[in-house]
Each structure stands twice: as C-alpha cells, then as structure tokens.
Chain A
Amino acid sequence: MKGIHFVQEDSPTEIGAAAANDDQLVARAKALASELALGPTRAYAGVKRLLYRTATNPLYEQMEVENESIADVARTVDAQEGIAAFLAKRPPQFNGR
C-alpha cells in the first residue's frame, strides 16, 4: 500500500516522532512536504480540524463532527477523484479543491 515511510515498520520509534539521520532530514522532510502538497488539501484540513479539537469533545459530539466532516469533504472534487482513482486502480490526481 502507498504510504510514507520515515521509519522501518519493524522498528517503531519510542515516542512516535519520525526519526531520520541528520544528513537525510531535510531531504526527507522536503519529499514528505512535496507528497503532501499533491494530496487532497481540503481533506487534510478536515483531519487537522478533527484532531486538534478532539481533546475536549465527548465521544458522541466527536462522532457527529466526523459525520459532518466526511459529508462536507465528499462534496469536493478531490474526493470524487480519489474514489474514482481507487476504483480504477490508478494514482489519484488531486488538485486541492
């Protein structure tokens, strides 16, 4: 499956921060930023909104906010493209809208 691998899957870092050797740090950060820059930006914003607010939300409140979020983001061009690309087994072409 597609994914960004900062650490070996069999050697998770202790506190969950991504670890990279000093000489690779900037290159890897750039590669990650470049990949994210071609991703579904509005879905990323939704993830950030959900995760940065979850700490003070009770369970059912968070479920409702998730439900509103997935329905909202389903209206985006990128979600339509993402689903179509997944079913066609091709890489998605996200444009951030």
Chain B
Amino acid sequence: MESLTTLLFKVSEHVAYITLNRPTVVNAASLELAEELEKVARECDESNSVRAVLLTGAGGIFCGGGDLKSFAAQEPSRLPTHLKRVNLFFHSAIQCFARMRAPVVVAVNGPAAGYGMSLACAGDIVLANESARFTIAYTRVGLTPDAPSTYYLPRIIGLRRTMELALTNRTLTAREAEAIGLVTRVVPGDQLIAQAESMANELAHGPTRAYGGVKRLLYGTATNPLYEQMELENESIADMARSADAQEGIAAFLAKRPPQFSGR
C-alpha cells in the first residue's frame, strides 16, 4: 500500500493493525485521515488474508474527534460540503468494518471524543484501559452526531442514556463505559495492547466466515421482525455448514482435538 501519513497500517499473521497516527493533534479526523481510513478498511474488507483487525490510536490517545481546525479553515459556506466529503470516507470506512468478515477489535487507550467515540462504538469487540474517556461532543460545537453513533449507541446503551450523553456531552470514565456495556471490557493500562493483540490473534485463527455471519445477523437484527430474523439465521447456518471450517469444527469437536480453521 502506498505511503500513509495519518495512519500506521500493517498486516501480519492474518491480523491487520490500524493505528490512528496524528498524536500531536489528538489523532483528530481530518479529510485526509478519513480517506486513509477508508483505504485501509476497504483493503481489510477485500483481503482474504486479513482475518482480524486491531484498531487503536498512537500516543496514549484514541481519537479526539473531528479535526475542527481543518474544518474551520473552510469558508463557512463550504463547511457542509466539507463535512459530507469527510463522511463520504469516514462512513464508508465504518461500513467496511461492519460488513467485513474479520472481527474488528478496538483498543481504546485514551480519550475518545466525537468521531473517536463513534469509531470506538463501531468495533465488534472494544477493550479499554483506565485512561479511556468517552464523550459524544458534537453538540458542544453545535453539530449533530454521526459515524453512526445514533445507530450504535441507542442499541448498545439505550435511548435514555444516549440522549443524555448527546445533549450534555458528559464524559464517561472507562469504568462507567464498562458498567453500561459501551465497552466489552476494561483491562489494566499496560496490558491493553497485549490483550487486544492476543484477542485479535485468536480471532484471526477462528472460523472467519462464521464470524462474518454473526456480524451480518447481529448488525441487521435491530430492524428485523422475529420471523424474518429466524429465516436469515436458518439461511446463515445452512450456508456456513457448507464451509470447510464448519466441517473441520465438527470433526475436531468429535475427535476431541483443537480445530484448525482456515477461514474458508
């Protein structure tokens, strides 16, 4: 992949490592960062060798939000167009994370505000350490949330809490985020990256197609009626039963040996 200026990206042993890397400006999401995030997310989505993704931020910060300085550099009349262009890429990146078979592990290693909180919500598994802080932040500057925190947040923590956080921008500590189910787990600070890597590695050796099926079923369930969801589950399990990994998983279970999944 050609050079990236706002992100670090590498793929190793089926794990894609994405690190937001603008630490001098709290890893803020500029148009360029959004473009690069879309590029690497699409690479992960399309690559057969990527079977897990680990997303984090450089410099003890996850992501401080949209790059307001670059937004303010636009002519005021051009700001709506500029935000739509940023979202063209940022939203596409998040769609890739939701759509891809590979599970996305997010390690929140510091403040996550605005876009940063949205991005943390978009992880399939979200680990945080005690320096993590979460704030929706958009209305603090007179904007409305996106990326798509108004989809994920009410479904993860409920409408009542989401409304309060969106209107007041109250900051959540890592512990409160864990207590209300916003993050999967809080781990000790110095173990965050090691634990996130270990989880990503484990998932990268799992039944990738079944993981993709789980994501499709769970991210679509909120708006499906009961019988529709049951039919999709039925189609999904029958599809997965055709995969090499399901054959291997069942055989290994019966032989009482660890399965060797290939992602096919």
Query: Residues of A with Cβ closer than 8 Å to B?
Result: 1-6, 9-10, 12, 15-18, 32, 35-36, 39-40, 42-44, 46-48, 50-51, 54-60, 62-63, 66-67, 69-76, 78-87, 92, 94
Contacts and interface: CB of A to CB of B under 8 A. Distances in A.
Contact of B87 (A4, A67, A72): A67
Contact of B144 (A12, A62, A73): A73
Q: Is chain A's interface secondary structure helix, strand, loop, or mixed overall?
A: helix
- Residue from A70, A80, A92 with most neighbouring chain B CB atoms (10 Å): A70
B147 interface: yes
B146 interface: yes
Contacts, number: 167
A54 B158 CA distance: 11
Contacts of B71: 83
Q: What is the interface of chain B mostly: helix, strand, loop, or mixed?
A: helix
Contacts of B264: none
B254 interface: no
Task: Please provide the 7 A-B residue pairs with the shortest distance between their CB atoms, ordered closest to farther.
Answer: A82-B141, A82-B142, A46-B144, A40-B142, A66-B146, A79-B142, A78-B142
B226 to A, nearest CB: 15
Contacts of B238: none
B148 A59 contact: yes
